[in-house]
Amino acid sequence: MKKLLLFLTALFLLVEANAFDVSKNGEVIFKAMQDEMARTMKDLKTKGMAKPYYAAYKVSAGDSFAVGAFMGEKYVENESKGDISISVMLRAGDKKTDSSFFENTVISTAEGQLPSMSYESIRRALWLQTDNAYKQALDQYTKKLAYLKKKQVKQENPDFSAAEISSDVPSPEFPPFDKDYLISLAEEMSKQGDVKSLKKFSVFAAAGQRAVFFLSSEGAKYVKDDSTLTITLRAEADTPEGFPIEASKSLSYKSQDELPSKEELIKTAKDFSEEMQAAVLSPKGEAFIGPVLLEDQAAAYLFANLFANNITNTKKTLSLNNDKDYNMGEFARKKGLKVMPFDFNVVDDPEAETFKGKKLAGFYKVDDEGVRPSKLQIVKDGKLTELPATRSSGKTNGHARLGLFENKLYAKAMPSNLFFLPQKTLPKEELKTRLMQDCLKENLDYCYIIRRFDGGNITAYKVDAKTGEETLTHGFEMPALSTRALRDITAAGDDLTLTNYYSSRQPSYALVAPSVILSEMELKPSQVENKKPPKLEKPQAD
């Protein structure tokens, strides 16, 4: 017993000494996972009930740091070391029919910091969460069998199909982040908004260095890098009439190594500040229905919300309360149908690592069911030809993904790196000319270029249809967009631009997409009433 305690203590010190020595920490973590997995598959059972036939463990370990700065001065700083989270995915029944995709399944997750990152602590957490997951799986499996019998539902595919499992995935590198540099960067960037016309201007930088260890009962085993670094700029101001304007801008990177230079980031903050200052003095937008040009972040927003979000969750979750699965992607039942213009192709390539020298957020070598991914031709000549699939979809293509803290028990079909590739393009500078021509054809005196959607704010420029003069406007509501807008694309630019969506909550993915013209969009002025302007102007520092 004494030797065992000394061994466990040594392992504890080994992990605590360097929270991101992945090779050493991985030995401890995988040892705990393997030992608990063996016990689970051998001994976990309840008399007269289904045994688990599949289990998977995810252990996420890492450090995080965040700093916020307000108009040049730091106002908050948080640091956490050695955070570890446990996730257990367990299936009861058999591959034909199991406990998955029924009602509101939730994952058994131990979030936050365990007492330590020792072998003993990890084993105990895995044991507790496996026990919870098994009880939950039995409850779901029993209810699902009764539902299928009562409704006489015949499932299209087995709940878990066979697949070739991969375990030879090399461990990634984990470059550290520099806290002092991030503090200095946040302060310098936020200083750019310390001007008379802005009420608030803040910069929040958050870095997370995180390794994810995965092990399944079938032998899948890997380590992946879920590190992220995000910088969020926020600004608030009131127009002279008292109309409140708020805007934000997010920058996402895999690690500090990918950050542009400090000078470039400070310029980004200065440009954002100047744009907000101009918005304060700009006219309020007028009601409009007609052609619009979406550039930069606005184009990415369109494709992310109307396309990427609709090719996820392609297997229906059964429910006693609802015949429809409202989380299921709209395109799940539209294979073979036109979803975009006929000259558009869309490819999903998980193993594409970079684009124009920049890392793609959706890159991975193995999915969350231990399967190597395939490159997908999702749209060909405007028609939906293929969808991301998991082992629960009939035949997997390696697109089973699960965010670290997602409230789902089973990995679902998700995109990775989406490339929107129009076969016919215009040089970006000619898109504005084409927009003006479209406006004149509809007898419109003006139309709009939208360059950013950020929450409740739209960065929109009113364009004179004859002269091309641009006027920044403020005060539009977010438009209600449907997937119909994708079929309303009439022109695309040659300016393929990368937008990474890094997240510690949901699977990260990337979009490579062009600027586009939509034949029609409705813009509505906000109904928010003006505030009473302050009687005294904002004081300025000496």
Q: pLDDT for 241-294, tens place per residue?
A: 889 999 999 998 888 988 999 999 999 999 999 999 999 999 999 999 999 999
The pLDDT confidence band at residue 345, using thresholds 50, 70 and 90, is very high
Q: Per-residue pLDDT averaged across 38-66, rounded?
A: 90
Q: What is the pLDDT of residues 476-529, one digit of tens each?
A: 999 989 999 999 999 999 999 999 998 766 789 999 999 999 999 999 998 877
What number of other Cβ atoms are within 10 A of residue 316's Cβ? 16
Which residues contact residue 528 at a Cβ distance below 8 angstroms, ignoring those fewer than 6 apart? 243, 244, 475
pLDDT at 82: 77
Q: What is the pLDDT of residues 439-469, one digit of tens each?
A: 999 999 999 999 999 867 899 999 999 999 9
Q: Per-residue pLDDT averaged across 420-437, rounded?
A: 96
Cα separation of 342 and 364, whole Å? 30
The pLDDT confidence band at residue 212, using thresholds 50, 70 and 90, is confident
Rg (CA), the chain: 26
Beta strands per DSSP E along 368-416: 376-380, 383-384, 400-401, 412-413
Cα separation of 346 and 418, whole Å? 7
Question: Torsion-angle region of residue 464: left (phi > 0), alpha (psi -120 to 50) or beta?
Answer: beta
User: Contacts by 433-440 with C-beta closer than 8 Å and gap 24+?
Assistant: 433/468, 434/491, 434/517, 435/291, 435/292, 435/293, 435/463, 435/517, 436/463, 436/465, 436/466, 436/468, 438/291, 438/490, 438/517, 438/519, 439/290, 439/291, 439/463, 439/465, 440/465, 440/466
Q: What is the pLDDT of residues 388-411, one digit of tens each?
A: 999 988 889 999 987 755 545 578
Q: What is the pLDDT of residues 123-175, one digit of tens each?
A: 999 998 899 889 988 998 999 999 899 888 888 889 999 998 887 667 777 77
Cα separation of 457 and 459, whole Å? 7
- Given a cut of 60, is residue 429 above it in pLDDT? yes
pLDDT at 318: 82
The pLDDT confidence band at residue 85, using thresholds 50, 70 and 90, is confident
**Domain positions in the chain:** 2-63+77-172+207-226, 283-526
Cα separation of 452 and 130, whole Å? 44
Q: Can you tell me whether residue 56 is helix, strand or coil?
A: strand
Q: What is the pLDDT of residues 54-77, one digit of tens each?
A: 999 988 888 889 999 999 999 999
Q: Can you tell me whether residue 362 is helix, strand or coil?
A: coil
- Given a cut of 60, is residue 181 above it in pLDDT? yes
56-65, 221-230, 315-324: the lowest-pLDDT one: 315-324
Which residues contact residue 496 at a Cβ distance below 8 angstroms, ignoring those fewer than 6 apart? 419, 420, 421, 512, 513, 514
Q: What is the pTM of this model?
A: 0.89
Closest CA relative to residue 235, chosen from 262, 195, 264 = 195
Cα separation of 248 and 90, whole Å? 40
- Given a cut of 70, is residue 533 above it in pLDDT? no
